[in-house]
Structure 1
């Protein structure tokens, strides 16, 4: 006959410590869920506070504010008549927990603490919270006096319990718990739970969504059930972008999926499911037999509500949602959309007048400019869709109360400033490319030469010391050569901040600009940048993206954004243009670094993702690079590995001052947030290098023996 239930989950763009704004977005999502006829609404992890509060979670004030805001949500009658699952931090017996709070009609039914905390990579939950590492254990929690006045309750249960309604059982799972070997949903399924909620604070990394969604879909593929996944979406005030994708899955099949990237602050995803489908699915499995063996059932909290009214059973207008295909973006699309949404959140929340970018004519700054162009495209699209929040934000930023942009170029003309800061070492080609790109995307562009500034600074040194440095190609030393390059790069940083403060003023616009950096993750890893040069900025949208991926993104944008000028950036040889160009010499990034960008990508992943030191890296790369198409000798592989680790070590100190960058890669060398390694280490790695040399010798001897045998056979 069918027992139909309509349920909702959501993506919310919450902001750390924006308690009242977070409250309003939560209430809006509940109202939308009710408008869709839902009986259950699930929200993201720690949605009251925002997930990324970091060390603010150590402040007791935060917990008081959380209860204050939650009481306002409970008291708001717009949130009644629907089962509501909300995330917030709670102190119980002087211990801090990351919790779900489940309520109905202004009454709290259960506080469910997180059992397993995320504590690797970007996550530091064990720094702030304690895991409720006691499955199926519960006790009483005494509510704060202010909440008691709202709910009329003095105590509620806190612990690993489930909710029981007239027709089904509901269990909560929080983010990291899904990824553990003993995920709670398995035990809950064996105890008859049919609806699982998972509230998350999952961030974006390139090519990682499929891993997450596969695990989410797998959760009910084996044991059946409805899985409601909710996530934050947007910049929560840090380097991460939370990438949404709120989903509803039934028996392992996707039936509703939210967006991964968008400018929407509130996105509610709804589906209607038939509880009988779950029972039928489970009857085909062995779960029923296994459930009989369960001797320790969950504590059930009786909700006293009916999620599937009897009228739904016979209502022909209510139909269950059908399976859909899972939506994945290409990596090039992820680069176009993720950092663009991140930049928009940062800009509108900082309330600055726009962005300033030193546009060099190379791939990296070109990619950054193209990402800003993508942001402008998203703004126009949202305005066309009538998104009131985006319209309000763009009018606030541009101080144009009645203005609605029609093209990305109109947005860039008001919010995006670029400058080509050339010297006598710059080429006409890079200057021309930068100007044409600025024209195509609509930025306010300034073309200048800074030779007089460079000359003046070098002259100060000459007057003070009586010595004048010259470039290496004119007979100077390596020390002189580096100093003359670095002063150009550092002066560009000084000019960038001067222009960022004053360019709006020249147009009678109040406010300053956020300076954008454009050092890619591979150059950061190698240290191929000048400390405090123009890569030192306020934000870096490409700091977690490899050169290889950036070039693919530009190639994609060339067609999809209709910007044919981008093709010239891809085809040009990467160069810093800090040394003089002669008939016989043009500076090349890869020659300067002593390694290719493709090699850097491999070094980076082995170092961070595979946790390899120099010796382990050599062993892995020898097996790879001694084979076609590389055909490198053991000596050649060893030399490359030693060179990488040497330059990585001597430049590690640069990471302590790197511009906050959009996190997109697992091998990011970001010292401040993701890659916690010392910045003063012996760059020779003497013991590791001795062991590498021994292996090289053994390999060489073995190869010689094989060669002699082969010659004798011939």
Structure 2
């Protein structure tokens, strides 16, 4: 006899500290889940205040206002008749906890604090919360007065416990706990818990989703059971983009998978599951034996049947069939993730649009194409009937007239995206032409300017003041003169970018609409190497490609040539990367890779070794001896490693003022958040160099012995 149960999970575009907006999205997801016949709904981690509140979690106001919003959810009749799993922070015995609160019909059933906190990479949960390390331990929690008035309850159970209903048992684990070696879902499953919820605040990184999905599927493939995974989506107000992709998995098979990138603020997934399938899957002798040795959880009983009419089930109801998992290509992830992040940022800061210095190189080109991809997503959402996106478009364009509503991505881009080619005598006609042609294809409002007179004025000012005139290296100048002349151009571009961003809407007759957000376009490899001028046009409001490697950007542009129908992009891929800050002669054309002393391939490999594999100079050298054994000599590898750490160290200070960037790579050098290294470092790494030299000496000695033996 089947026991059909309809379960719901969701992805919500929550915003840190947007209590009322977050509350409304939670309620909307509950209403949708009920309309689809669900008897249980699971939401994202810390969904009431928003996951990314950071140090606002240290403020008591955050906890009070979370309870105030939660009380309105509990007292709302629209939320009755369904078991709710809602995430919010709670103070218990003067300690702050990251909690799940489970309720039914306006009554709180239990509060389950997070046991293992995320505390590496982008996450600092130990800074705000205390982990509930005592598994299977439970104690009483005195409810706040404002909740007592709503629920008529004085005390609820607080700790690591589960809910038993008339027909099943439900337990929780939260985000990071799924990634731990002794994940709670194992003990929960062995104690007879059939439905496990996981509420998450997991961010997007390129190629990361498969790791998350494999863990979710493995959680029930080995133990059996139902797994409801909920995740936040959208820009929560910082560098991260939470990429949704809520899932319902049963016995190791996916029944429902949400979108990874979407402009929908509320997405609800439901699936119909036969609980008898879980019981049959677990009918193994080894499971039964291990269950006798596993911990026992306290059960809070709910006198409700979540699979109603199991004695008289509807034969027309069909359990949800398994489906294959869907993954985007990395190139698609670049087109979609940063685009969704940009739209969230723009609409929430109520900006009038974006301004981008479009140089004709691949980095600014990629940034422009991401904005164009954003415009495509917005128009597609509007065509699909998304009223919230339509409302946001009118807010951003400052135009309530339906007759003027943009119908194509190019029309939207022309209203909110402004590009500018800032040329000098060092700029080529090719880059200028590419920038102009791309702007026409994507619809941006484009202007050209020549800043030679401004550059000359600055140089003349210096000459009049000091009596000295710097000249470029190719004309006989020193390195310091050459660098200073390049930096003048780069920094002036930043000044001009903000001038034009502030006034371009005004020149188009849009008075009092506010300025445009200036976009940066320095990629992760250049930031790691420090190959940019501090406070140049890489200094901007936000940077959608600051966490993306040059190689991935090239692949993205190649993909976009066909997928976004922009054939002009091929010329960007084929062009040699150059800053165009030095004069071009018959003998010399400036090249990024030549200037840096590294190829982008090399920087990508070394960046991952430094951050992801946690290598210092010596350990990086040893690893590269094997990785590059067929490409470079040991001496060449040693030179590359020493040079890499030298430039990384002397340029580390630049990361302290780096433009906030979309986090897409694990080796991002983003300071203050992801890469917590000092910015005053001895660039010599003398002992590391000494050890590298010792290895080289040994290798030379062994090579000499081998040669003598052969002779």
Please tell me the TM-score bracket, short chain as reference. Answer: over 0.9
* Residue in 2 that maps onto 1:220: 220
State the match for 2:92 in structure 1: 92
- What's the secondary structure of 2:681's corresponding residue? coil
* Counterpart residue number, 2:160: 160
Alignment of 1:514-663 (within 5 A): 514-626=517-629, 628=630, 630=631, 632-663=632-663
Structure 1 residue 312, shift from structure 2 partner? 7.4
**Which aligned pairs between 1:226-375 and structure 2 lie closer than 5 A?**
226-284=226-284, 286-294=286-294, 296-310=295-309, 313-375=312-374
Match of 2:386 in 1: 387
- The equivalent residue for 2:677 is 677
1:589-609: CA deviation from partner (whole Å, max 9, x where unpaired) = 000001100000011000000
Check 1:272–1:65 CA distance in 2 against 1; reply closer, same or farther (3 A cut).
same
**What is the RMSD of the two structures over their aligned residues, measured on CA atoms?**
0.9
Are residue 16 (structure 1) and residue 16 (structure 2) matched?
Answer: yes
Q: Secondary structure at the match of 1:206?
A: coil
Deviation per residue, 1:354-383 (Å, 9 max, x gap) = 000000000000000000000000001100
Distance 2:550 2:107 in 1: 53
- Deviation at residue 643 of structure 1 after TM alignment: 0.7
SS at 2:670 equivalent: coil
**Does the CA-based 8 Å contact 2:352-2:398 persist in structure 1?**
no
Aligned residue for 1:62, secondary structure, equals: helix
Name the residue aligned to 2:473. Answer: 472
- In structure 2, how many angstroms separate the alpha carbons of the residues matched to 1:243 and 1:313? 40
Displacement after TM superposition at 1:169 (Å): 0.1
Name the residue aligned to 1:7.
7
Name the CA distance, whole Å, in 2 between partners of 1:621 and 1:580.
36
How far apart in 1 are the matches of 2:518 and 2:129? 35
Contact 1:227–1:249 (Cα < 8 Å) also in 2: yes
| Preserved CA contact (<8 Å) 1:7 1:272 | yes
In 2, Cα distance between equivalents of 1:395 and 1:137: 52
Contact persistence 1:634–1:700 (CA under 8 A): no
| 1:311 CA displacement | 5.4
CA contact (8 A) 2:23 2:48 kept: yes
**CA–CA distance in structure 1, aligned partners of residues 47 and 277 of structure 2:** 31
Does the alignment pair 1:505 with 2:506?
Answer: yes
Give the drift of 1:285: 5.6
In 2 relative to 1, CA 239–3 (structure 1 residues): closer, same or farther, beyond 3 Å?
A: same
What secondary structure sits across from 1:400 in the alignment? coil
Q: Displacement of 1:695 after TM fit?
A: 0.6
1:78 is aligned to 78
Q: Secondary structure at the match of 1:447?
A: strand
CA contact (8 A) 1:87 1:100 kept: yes
Q: CA deviation at 1:289?
A: 2.2
Q: Classify the secondary structure of the residue corresponding to 2:282.
A: helix
Q: SS in structure 2 opposite 1:610?
A: coil
For residues 288-323 of structure 1, the C-alpha deviation after alignment (integer angstroms, 9 at most, x for no partner) is 2221234x4100001111101115752022110000
CA distance in 1: counterparts of 2:272 and 2:312, whole angstroms: 12
How far residue 50 of structure 1 moved from its aligned partner, in angstroms, is 0.3
Distance 2:65 2:54 in 1: 16
Cα 1:313–1:518, aligned 2, differ >3 Å: closer, same or farther?
A: farther
Q: How far off its partner does 1:705 sit?
A: 2.6
Give the whole-Å Cα distance in 2 for the aligned partners of 1:685 and 1:268.
Answer: 53
Report what 2:202 is aligned to.
202
Q: Secondary structure at the match of 1:678?
A: coil
Tell me, in whole angstroms, the C-alpha distance in 2 between the residues paired with 1:142 and 1:655.
46
Cα distance in 1 for residues equivalent to 2:547 and 2:325: 26
Show the counterpart of 2:179: 179
In the other structure, the counterpart of 1:481 is 482
Maintained 8 Å contact 1:2/1:275: yes
SS in 1 for 2:560: helix
Q: Distance in 2 between matches of 1:486 and 1:442?
A: 31
Change beyond 3 A, Cα 1:477–1:169: same
Q: Deviations over 1:555-611 (max 9, x none)?
A: 000110000000000000000000001111100000000110000001100000000
SS state at 2:49 partner: coil
- Aligned residue number for residue 436 of structure 1: 437
Q: Distance in 1 between matches of 2:227 and 2:250?
A: 6
- SS of alignment partner, residue 272 of structure 2: strand
- Using the alignment, how far apart are the partners of 1:708 and 1:345 within structure 2? 68
Deviations 1:111-150 (A, max 9, x none): 0000000000000000000000000000010001110000
Task: Judge conservation of contact 1:4–1:312 (CA < 8 Å) in 2.
Answer: no
Secondary structure, aligned partner of 1:528: coil
Measured in 1, the distance between the counterparts of 2:61 and 2:525 equals 41
Secondary structure of the 1:304 match is: coil
1:638 counterpart SS class: helix
| Paired residue secondary structure (1:229) | strand
Q: State the distance in 1 between where 2:284 and 2:254 align.
A: 20
- In structure 2, the CA distance between the partners of 1:162 and 1:44, relative to structure 1 (3 Å rule), is same
Alpha-carbon distance, 1:286 to partner = 2.0
Counterpart secondary structure, 2:644: helix
Residue 130 (1) aligns with residue 130 (2):
yes
Q: Is the 8 A contact 1:368 1:541 kept in 2?
A: yes
1:396 Cα offset (Å)? 1.2
In 1, Cα distance between equivalents of 2:316 and 2:66: 40
> 1:223·1:285 contact (CA, 8 Å) conserved in 2?
no
- Alpha-carbon separation, structure 2, partners of 1:43 and 1:554: 36
Does the CA contact (< 8 Å) of 1:2 and 1:313 recur in 2? no
Secondary structure of the corresponding residue to residue 622 of structure 1? helix
Separation in structure 2 between the aligned mates of residue 570 and residue 701 of structure 1, nearest angstrom: 45
For residues 141-199 of structure 1, give each alpha carbon's deviation from its aligned partner in whole angstroms, at most 9, with x where no partner exists. Answer: 00011100000101100000000001000001100000111111111111100000000
Shift of 1:284: 3.5
Q: Is the 8 A contact 2:3 2:310 kept in 1?
A: no
CA distance in 2, matches of 1:404, 1:264: 19
2:698 aligns with 698
Partner SS, residue 234 of structure 1 = strand
How far apart in 2 are the matches of 1:397 and 1:515? 15
- 1:223 deviation in Å? 1.1
- The answer to whether the Cα contact below 8 Å between 2:649 and 2:680 also exists between their aligned partners in 1 is yes
SS in 1 for 2:656: helix
- How far apart are 1:625 and its partner, in Å? 1.3
Q: How many residues align?
A: 707
CA distance in 2, matches of 1:560, 1:708: 60
**Alignment partners' CA distance in 1, 2:285 and 2:90:** 39
| Aligned partner of residue 109 in structure 2, secondary structure | strand
Contact 2:58-2:128 at 8 Å conserved across structures? yes
In the other structure, the counterpart of 1:396 is 395
Structure 2: how far apart are the matches of 1:106 and 1:261? 33
Name the structure 2 match of 1:409. Answer: 410
- In structure 2, distance between residues paired with 1:676 and 1:135: 32
SS class of match (1:222)? helix
